[in-house]
Amino acid sequence: MACLYGLTHLLLLHLTLFPPTHALSPANSLIFALKTQATPHGLLPRASPTDKLPFYHNVTLTISLAVGSPPQRVTMVLDTGSELSWLHCKRSPDLNSVFDPASSRTYSPVPCSSLTCLTRTRDLPVPASCDPNKLCHTAISYADASSIEGNLASETISVGSSSRAGFLFGCMDSGQSSNKEEDSKTTGLMGMNRGSLSFVTQMGFSKFSYCISGFDSSGILLFGEGRDASFTWLKTLNYTPLVEMSIPLPYFDRGAYTVQLEGIKVSDKLLALPKSVFVPDHTGAGQTMIDSGTQFTFLLGPVYAALKNEFTRQTEGVLRALEDPNFVFEGAMDTCFLIDPNQRGLPGLPRVSLIFRGAEMSVSDERLLYRVPSATRGSDMVYCFTFGNSDLLGLEAFVIGHHHQQNKWMEFDLVKSRVGLADVRCDIASQWLGITS
């Protein structure tokens, strides 16, 4: 599983979802308004009988929604890099937010003898097993060495005007996390990949999209087709096909949103790399995944080294390098610079473009450098290049994080097996769609 849950800071999106007004209809579109703000823990939007709801982000990508009967509010990390959704179900001094299955009349644990346990969990990284109570036991591990385990269960879950009874999820009662502070703020994780147990698959949505603002406090999350006339501007989307793998390979995640990276440019200079370095090998290692559960972008060693060298060359005389071989941010980002706090804004930087089959993702300006919290050298602040080295994390993959998806409309089409992207001012898109924050 590639998602770096707990290792990197995620974008905080507080989305409040409420019980249905009618049955689930995959053809319907659910539109949600985003707003960027530093939201203290516990201050979530109040209920509203509408499908256009406030959506807030700050540090981690989370959704607040109703689960169970009567509904309990839970907060889940939205993660396109994971399949099985799960909730913390055991109270502890370290957790402020948990789901209480004993308080829900629609909660039902899955016995380990059921076909659901025996067949539907086979594609998970660790297939389910039988616990001492003869319940379906599931465990999940992440790339940052954190893990969580508990029982598979079914419950009623609601998203705006859409509802699904018998939704399968993990009711987790133990785990080891690298980020206890983050765990205390969330009830669980919402898996959004292409697997049969993922949230988007179980809810029956054929398509979902999001636009994360990089300018101000507005943005959009959309479930469904979005065939309204006001969406005509989405004709500017460029699509890249999802890479399919028919046979299981040890290092290839078949549920991920895998695209084919074909090259990288710095300004107009294409890195001198053979296309073969971007193609998964016979073990499946080297796939390129679009992952909302990871903040930054990580590249395999040889590609990262080439990008680092070219970016450093083109910014010589513009940026002052941090001459500290022992400084590595987030365990994988070792290209860092010193910035005078008195200067106005960052200096002009060369654009970095990721070239996919049929589409291109350009990263520029402030999204190329990230200020490391509390890190200084004398009076200078420390900023690091927002691309990291996968090899330092032990990852056998390229991972495109959400930091580089800001101010881009990202569309995930499960029917046509493709990802669409376009440069969009998310605040303006919100106005086009009639959403006010």
Concatenate the DSSP letters of all residues of 97-116 into one string. ----GGG-TT-EEPBTTSHH
* Residues forming beta bridges with residue 240, ordered by sequence position: 419
How confident is the prediction for the chain on average, in pLDDT? Answer: 81
Domain membership of residue 160 (yes or no) is: yes
Q: Are residues 152 and 264 in the same domain?
A: no
pLDDT beyond 80 at 5: no
Q: What is the DSSP letter of 358?
A: T
Give CA–CA dist 273/195, Å, rounded: 33
Please give the residue range of the domain that contains residue 415.
Answer: 230-432
Tell whether the model's pLDDT for residue 352 goes beyond 60.
Answer: yes
195/58 same-domain check = yes
- Give the pLDDT band (50/70/90) at residue 210: confident
21 or 335: which leads in pLDDT:
335
Residues 187 and 241 in one domain: no
Q: Does residue 7 sit within a domain?
A: no
pLDDT attached to residue 184: 58
89 touches 150 (CB < 8 A): yes
Q: Provide the pLDDT for residue 185.
A: 66
Q: For residues 27 and 168, state if they share a domain.
A: yes
Q: What's the CATH number where 106 sits?
A: 2.40.70.10
Percent of the chain with pLDDT over 90: 54
292-298 mean pLDDT: 89
- Which is more confidently placed, 44 or 379? 379
pLDDT, residue 183, reads 57
In a domain, 22, yes or no: yes
Which of 51, 79, 183, 253 is an active site residue?
A: 79
- What residues contact residue 222 under an 8 Å CB cut-off, 6+ apart? 29, 30, 31, 32, 208, 209, 210
Q: Which residues contact 382 (CB under 8 A, 6 or more apart)?
A: 322, 327, 336, 337, 338, 339, 371, 372, 375, 376
276 phi/psi in degrees, rounded to 5: -65, -25
Among 3-7, 222-226, 317-321, the least confident range = 3-7
pLDDT at 402: 86
The answer on 377 and 251 residing in a single domain is yes
Residue 4 lies in a domain: no
Same domain, 260 and 192: no
For the segment 132-148, the average pLDDT, to the nearest whole number, is 86
Catalytic residue of the set 144, 253, 291, 427: 291
The answer on pLDDT for 208 being more than 60 is yes
Q: How confident is the model at residue 40 (pLDDT cuts 50, 70, 90)?
A: very low
Query: Is 194 in the same domain as 254?
Result: no
- Lowest mean pLDDT segment, chosen from 38-47, 211-220, 334-343, 422-431: 38-47
pLDDT in tens, 169-204: 999 987 655 555 555 567 899 899 999 999 999 998
Q: What is the pLDDT of residue 232?
A: 58
Quick one: 303 and 190 in the same domain? no
- Coil, strand or helix: which one is 202? helix
Who contacts 152 (Cβ-Cβ below 8 Å, separation ≥6)? 109, 110, 116, 117, 121, 128, 135, 136, 137, 138, 168, 169, 170, 171
Number of structural domains (the chain) is 2
pLDDT of residue 347: 85
Rounded to 5°, angle at Cα 35 from 31 and 38? 145
Q: Are residues 294 and 395 in the same domain?
A: yes
Q: 315 and 237: one domain?
A: yes
Query: What stretch of H or E contains 352?
Result: strand 352-356
pLDDT tens per residue, range 367-412: 999 999 889 999 999 999 999 999 998 899 999 998 899 889 999 9
State how far the Cα of 237 lies from the Cα of 222, in Å rounded to an integer: 15
Number of continuous H segments (helices) and E segments (strands) in the chain? 6, 30
Q: Average pLDDT for residues 98-120, to the nearest whole number? A: 94
Does residue 3 belong to any structural domain of this protein? no
> Do 126 and 139 contact (CB within 8 A), yes or no?
yes
- 110 lies in a domain? yes
The pLDDT confidence band at residue 9, using thresholds 50, 70 and 90, is very low
32 and 178, same domain (yes or no):
yes
Q: Give me the pLDDT at residue 435, please.
A: 64
Q: Would you call 94 a catalytic residue per the annotation? A: no
**61 lies in some domain:** yes
pLDDT band at residue 36 using 50, 70 and 90 as cut-offs: very low
Clarify whether residues 306 and 375 are in a common domain: yes
Quick: pLDDT tens for 220-264: 778 876 555 456 567 789 999 999 988 889 999 999 999 999 999
Work out whether the CA dihedral 282, 288, 292, 298 comes out positive or negative: positive
Active site (annotated) includes residue 423: no
- What is residue 218's three-state secondary structure? coil
Write the DSSP assignment of 372-434 as a string of letters.
EEEEEETTEEEEEESEEEHHHHT--EEEE-GGGGBTEEEEEETTTTEEEEEE--HHHHHHHTT
Of 205, 222, 242, which residue is a domain's last? 205
Phi-psi region of 317 (alpha: psi -120 to 50; beta: other; left: phi over 0): left
The answer to the question of residue 148 being in a domain is: yes
